[in-house]
A and B are shown apart, each in its own frame.
Chain A
Amino acid sequence: MRHRRALELPLEESPAAPAPQQVPPSRPAGSFRPVGRADAATPAPAELWLAAHLGMASSQPAQRDLERLVVGAQRLTPRVSLEPPDGLLLEVKGSLHLFGGVEGLSREMAGECSRLRMPCTLAAAPTPLAALALARAARKMTVPASLLAITDPAQLVGKLSPLPLATLRWPQDTLDRLARIGVRTIGEALRLPRAGFARRFGTAQLQTLDRLVGRASDLKQRFEVRARFRRRHELIYELESHAALLAVLEPLLAELGEFLTARQCGVLALECRLRHRAVPPTRCVLRLAAPLADPVQLAALLGERLSALVLPEPVRACELRSGALVSRVLASGGLWQAGEHGGGAAARAPELIERLRARLGPEAVHGLRVVEDHRPEGAWKIREPVFTTSAIQSGSRNEELFDRRPLWLLPVPRLLNERDGLPRRRGPLQLLGEAERIETGWWDGKEIARDYYTAVDIRGARLWVFREREPPHRWFLHGVFG
């Protein structure tokens, strides 16, 4: 069905394009065919749109509230678009069976609206515009909260016909002119000749009608929730106690958790700013080892961080900012308990790392990575901890070379004494085997030219020493074998 529509698209739109003379002859200049009859072969509509018409009697809902509602609605379907100033559209065909049909779904949606204290009317129809028009009409006519639903495309035109044209939100001028020729409902407008309609009332309006009855596809831009979370809470009194602060932050964290769940994301970094009267705000940054969305865990970690924080002044406002969102794959719970048959260990690692980081700071915990570099100093790097089983993987690891590297590398090579051109450390060092020459790095300014030896000191400890190739040919200790 969707394919068919896409194919028909250019044909469908051509009459709406510049000149009305281009109406294809195959279409009788009469009027709109009910779309359902043409599609009789495919009984089920490809899409079903649920429209929510919001709005208090006096004022329009704020953009902020609308966005919050969208976040809630995205729990029901990913295809949610905003129809400013007071509409919301959800494509629910795919989620009908998950929420118990149109009734169940609209109950959920009504619940979301009432949670935000936004009165709404809901309507469902195969095209987005029809759903919106129905919802608006239901509001105007103060139909009781019963749902208006057109699930059968064949009934679409028939059910839309009695609705007033005002529900399409055309310019008042157009509506007035239509009213003067006695056209007040959608059905009457649909019966007008297309060419004349386009000439007198504009192609835009004709396109609206096409989209309304599903003759032209209506592409809705999916609403993307902002990729970062930021909420601020002003306190009505100043706070000094850490426990009280955490209590204030908890609703913010709960909101963050909801925000993240809707996007199936987690945060890796969370910043909490505590504003004071005179001094600059105190910042408390939480870095997480794995994407996290659970407000309870977040609160526990933030509490750990906060308790280590010294507040210069009482806090007047707190603000929560998330770092970039990371998509979080929700894994199934394991069959084994942790510690049983190796179960759960990997799941606990992030928790451990977060606890250590919360107490010791983010720099204190890191992972290791092997880098392809001949310079021993450059052959490894620290990185964020990861929890794959092959955390330190090195594709082309040279086993033989690996054996010739010490386990312990000194942060900086230590200068050794020498006598007769041979190094000494608590006595003479005995050099074993051949030298390994490492001479590289001329391209990035950290050039080295060294001959490495394995040496044994008088106590039998094996050391990794090198001699500079350049004069003055000094000896250095660079590592200790285990």
Chain B
Amino acid sequence: MLWSFEQTLRSGACDIALAWVRSALPRQIRRLHLAAEQGGTLGVLFRPGEAARDSSPAALRVAVEPAAPGTRVTLLKSRGGARGAIELPLR
């Protein structure tokens, strides 16, 4: 699974690649990060909510969870260190 994702990111064939995984080690995420940089591809890795507690070498980490009227997006990690949460209401 992660191998395919890494190959896709590295090939540069796609503009964006999405993947859903149950678990990923920081080392593996680092590899994905390098592959995405090499291929110039935007990669998004979806992980379960519990993973927010672990550290990760990803450039941007965002927690998405359902909130009463819509979706709450929390910025966990970003370059520049901005933090915060916004709520996106549903249409």
Rounded to whole Å, the gap between the CB of A10 and the closest CB of chain B is: 59
Which chain B residues (58-82) contact chain A, with CB distance < 8 Å? 65-70
Is A352 a contact partner of B13 (Cβ separation < 8 A)?
Answer: yes
B8's closest neighbor in chain A, by CB?
A352
Enumerate chain A residues within 8 angstroms of B66, measured Cβ to Cβ: 459-462
Which chain B residues (21-47) contact chain A, with CB distance < 8 Å? 39-40
Is B4 a contact partner of A349 (Cβ separation < 8 A)?
Answer: no
Cβ of A370 within 8 Å of any chain B Cβ, yes or no, is: no
Given known A355-B7, A356-B4, contact A460–B14 (CB-CB < 8 A): no
**Candidates A339, A364, A459; contact of B40 at CB < 8 Å:** A339
Enumerate chain A residues within 8 angstroms of B15, measured Cβ to Cβ: 345
Enumerate chain B residues within 8 angstroms of A351, measured Cβ to Cβ: 11, 13
Cβ of B57 within 8 Å of any chain A Cβ, yes or no, is: no
Cβ of B86 within 8 Å of any chain A Cβ, yes or no, is: no
Interface size class of B (residues with CB under 8 A): 10 to 19
Enumerate chain B residues within 8 angstroms of A356, measured Cβ to Cβ: 4, 7-8
Enumerate chain B residues within 8 angstroms of A339, measured Cβ to Cβ: 12, 39-40
Is B90 a contact partner of A352 (Cβ separation < 8 A)?
Answer: no
A387's closest neighbor in chain B, by CB?
B13
Enumerate chain A residues within 8 angstroms of B7, measured Cβ to Cβ: 352, 355-356
Cβ of A360 within 8 Å of any chain B Cβ, yes or no, is: yes
Measured CA separation A78–B29 after assembly (Å): 54
Enumerate chain A residues within 8 angstroms of B4, measured Cβ to Cβ: 356, 360, 364
A360's closest neighbor in chain B, by CB?
B4
B70's closest neighbor in chain A, by CB?
A460
A364's closest neighbor in chain B, by CB?
B4
Cβ of A359 within 8 Å of any chain B Cβ, yes or no, is: yes
Enumerate chain B residues within 8 angstroms of A461, measured Cβ to Cβ: 66
Is B90 a contact partner of A462 (Cβ separation < 8 A)?
Answer: yes
A460's closest neighbor in chain B, by CB?
B66
Is A338 a contact partner of B12 (Cβ separation < 8 A)?
Answer: yes
Count of CB-CB pairs between chains A and B under 8 Å = 41
Q: How many residues of A are counted as interface, with CB atoms below 8 angstroms from the partner's CB atoms?
A: 18
Enumerate chain A residues within 8 angstroms of B68, measured Cβ to Cβ: 460
Q: Is the interface of A mostly helix, strand, loop or mixed?
A: helix
Rounded to whole Å, the gap between the CB of B55 and the closest CB of chain A is: 26
Enumerate chain B residues within 8 angstroms of A459, measured Cβ to Cβ: 65-66
Enumerate chain A residues within 8 angstroms of B3, measured Cβ to Cβ: 359
B40's closest neighbor in chain A, by CB?
A339
Rounded to whole Å, the gap between the CB of B16 and the closest CB of chain A is: 11
Cβ of A374 within 8 Å of any chain B Cβ, yes or no, is: no
Is B90 a contact partner of A348 (Cβ separation < 8 A)?
Answer: no
Measured CA separation A338–B12 after assembly (Å): 8
A355's closest neighbor in chain B, by CB?
B7
Measured CA separation A346–B11 after assembly (Å): 11
Which chain A residues (334-349) contact chain B, with CB distance < 8 Å? 338-339, 344-346, 348-349
Enumerate chain B residues within 8 angstroms of A346, measured Cβ to Cβ: 13
Rounded to whole Å, the gap between the CB of A339 and the closest CB of chain B is: 5
Which chain A residues (450-479) contact chain B, with CB distance < 8 Å? 459-462
Measured CA separation A461–B65 after assembly (Å): 8
Measured CA separation A346–B13 after assembly (Å): 6
Enumerate chain B residues within 8 angstroms of A360, measured Cβ to Cβ: 4
Measured CA separation A460–B90 after assembly (Å): 11
Is A348 a contact partner of B67 (Cβ separation < 8 A)?
Answer: no
Measured CA separation A360–B3 after assembly (Å): 10
Rounded to whole Å, the gap between the CB of A100 and the closest CB of chain B is: 41
Which chain A residues (346-404) contact chain B, with CB distance < 8 Å? 346, 348-349, 351-352, 355-356, 359-360, 364
Measured CA separation A338–B4 after assembly (Å): 20
Enumerate chain A residues within 8 angstroms of B14, measured Cβ to Cβ: 345, 349, 352
B1's closest neighbor in chain A, by CB?
A360
Rounded to whole Å, the gap between the CB of A356 and the closest CB of chain B is: 6
Is B13 a contact partner of A345 (Cβ separation < 8 A)?
Answer: yes
A344's closest neighbor in chain B, by CB?
B12
Rounded to whole Å, the gap between the CB of A431 and the closest CB of chain B is: 15
Enumerate chain B residues within 8 angstroms of A344, measured Cβ to Cβ: 12
Measured CA separation A459–B40 after assembly (Å): 37
**Candidates A348, A359, A462; contact of B11 at CB < 8 Å:** A348
B15's closest neighbor in chain A, by CB?
A345
Measured CA separation A348–B40 after assembly (Å): 13
Enumerate chain A residues within 8 angstroms of B8, measured Cβ to Cβ: 352, 356
B64's closest neighbor in chain A, by CB?
A482
B38's closest neighbor in chain A, by CB?
A339
Rounded to whole Å, the gap between the CB of B6 and the closest CB of chain A is: 11
A482's closest neighbor in chain B, by CB?
B71
CB<8 Å pairs between A and B, sample of 17: A339-B40, A344-B12, A345-B12, A345-B13, A345-B15, A348-B11, A349-B13, A351-B11, A352-B7, A356-B4, A359-B3, A360-B4, A364-B4, A459-B66, A460-B68, A460-B69, A462-B90
Ranked 6 nearest A-B pairs via Cβ: A460-B66, A348-B13, A352-B11, A349-B13, A461-B66, A352-B13
* Sample of 19 more A-B contacts, CB < 8 Å, known A346-B13, A356-B8, A459-B65: A338-B12, A339-B39, A345-B13, A345-B15, A348-B12, A348-B13, A349-B11, A352-B7, A352-B11, A352-B13, A355-B7, A355-B11, A356-B4, A364-B4, A460-B67, A460-B68, A460-B69, A460-B70, A461-B66
